[in-house]
């Protein structure tokens, strides 16, 4: 079935908007680094504070959950640790994207620039934070003897799909929130709700099989498994690959059409 000419042209316009932001990668880098420096201004330890607090939270939650559910700590600690770090990465990108255009509107009101620059800067900043937390994941892998095998290679296509999904979803969230400011609170609230119905601090097998639809219909749960399983030496299920592929590429095409149609209006919504 052929794609209508108007839809095709609109999608091309959306693609040009995203590619234009990539060509301005230096600006995305500077914005991301500036936000990190502002976050840790006058701090002697900087990012180390976040790593320490994350490590302490992982240890506390894993110990308590191990006692409550009578589960082996050496199995629960790596699972919870990796899950919390990946969840923080995914959820923070969504939350930051909601205010990306609003918080950086001064950049667009004074000069001509692709709006996707702000989305790339959000992903870049949070990817740096995630990279720092990889130290904690490495310690968990070594300390609890998590197997390192060929499944780890899956992390490369997993991150590629995740970043594609982040760009398209992040842009749509930012565009919607700059038009309807109340949506920012809705995004924040729903991320909190999704935390409790996503297997972050509990394993999927703990959930009765008749309720597994909660996980299957939760896109964040699918991307969480996509990134978590390779780091824990486990395969990613074919259903998860298919779901994340459809969300990233199929949803990405829909995002291109919407971006191409509405991105020129963003400056008036600011």
Model confidence pLDDT, tens digit, residues 48-64: 777 788 888 888 888 88
Please check whether residue 171 is in contact with residue 259, taking contact to mean a CB–CB distance below 8 angstroms. Answer: yes
Q: Specify the residue for token string 């969480």.
A: 224
Q: Specify the residue for token string 């990279």.
A: 131
Please check whether residue 159 is in contact with residue 126, taking contact to mean a CB–CB distance below 8 angstroms. Answer: no
DSSP state of 249: I
Model confidence pLDDT, tens digit, residues 226-249: 999 999 999 999 999 999 999 998
Q: How many CB atoms lie within 10 A of CB 196?
A: 9
Residues 6 or more apart whose Cβ sits within 8 Å of residue 178: 101, 102, 105, 266, 269, 270
Rounded to the nearest 10 degrees, the angle between the axes of helix 155-179 and helix 219-231 is 150
DSSP state of 248: I
Residue 42 pLDDT: 62
Query: 45 falls in which pLDDT band (50, 70, 90)?
Result: low
User: How is the chain split into domains, by residue range?
Assistant: 7-38+45-269
What values do phi and psi take at 83, rounded to 5?
A: -65, -45
pTM over cut 0.75: yes
Residue 87 pLDDT: 95
Residue 43 pLDDT: 60
Q: How many CB atoms lie within 10 A of CB 101?
A: 25
Query: pLDDT exceeding 70 applies to what percent of the chain?
Result: 95
Please state, in angstroms and rounded to a whole number, the distance separating the CA atoms of residues 266 and 270: 6
Residue 103 has pLDDT above 80, yes or no: yes
Please check whether residue 236 is in contact with residue 158, taking contact to mean a CB–CB distance below 8 angstroms. Answer: yes
Q: How many CB atoms lie within 10 A of CB 220?
A: 19
Residue 152 has pLDDT above 70, yes or no: yes
Residue 84 has pLDDT above 80, yes or no: yes
Give the max Cα distance, the chain. 60
Q: Which two tokens stand for residue 60?
A: 């506390």
Query: 212 falls in which pLDDT band (50, 70, 90)?
Result: confident
The rounded mean pLDDT for the chain is 88
DSSP state of 145: T
Read off the pLDDT of each residue in 176-193 and give the average, rounded to a whole number: 92
Residue 37 has pLDDT above 90, yes or no: no
């Amino acid at each position: 079935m052929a794609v209508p000419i108007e839809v095709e042209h609109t999608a091309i316009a959306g693609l040009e908007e995203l590619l234009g932001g990539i060509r301005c990668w230096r600006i995305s880098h500077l914005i991301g680094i500036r936000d990190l420096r502002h976050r840790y201004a006058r701090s002697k330890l900087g990012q180390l504070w976040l790593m320490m607090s994350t490590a302490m939270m992982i240890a506390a939650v894993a110990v308590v959950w191990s006692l409550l559910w009578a589960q082996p700590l050496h199995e629960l600690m790596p699972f919870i640790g990796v899950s919390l770090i990946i969840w923080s990465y995914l959820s923070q990108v969504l939350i930051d994207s909601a205010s990306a255009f609003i918080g950086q509107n001064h950049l667009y009101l004074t000069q001509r620039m692709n709006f996707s620059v702000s989305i790339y800067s959000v992903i870049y900043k949070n990817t740096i934070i995630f990279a720092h937390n990889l130290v904690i994941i490495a310690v968990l892998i070594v300390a609890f003897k998590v197997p390192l095998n060929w499944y780890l290679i899956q992390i490369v296509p997993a991150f590629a799909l995740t970043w594609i999904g982040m760009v398209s979803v992040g842009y749509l969230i930012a565009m919607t929130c700059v038009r309807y400011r109340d949506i920012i609170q809705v995004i924040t609230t729903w991320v909190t709700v999704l935390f409790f119905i996503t297997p972050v601090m509990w394993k999927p097998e703990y959930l009765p099989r008749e309720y597994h639809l909660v996980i299957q219909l939760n896109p964040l749960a699918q991307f969480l498994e996509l990134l978590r399983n390779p780091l824990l030496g486990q395969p990613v299920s074919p259903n998860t690959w298919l779901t994340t592929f459809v969300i990233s590429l199929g949803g990405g095409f829909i995002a291109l059409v919407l971006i191409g149609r509405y991105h020129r209006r963003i400056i008036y919504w600011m």
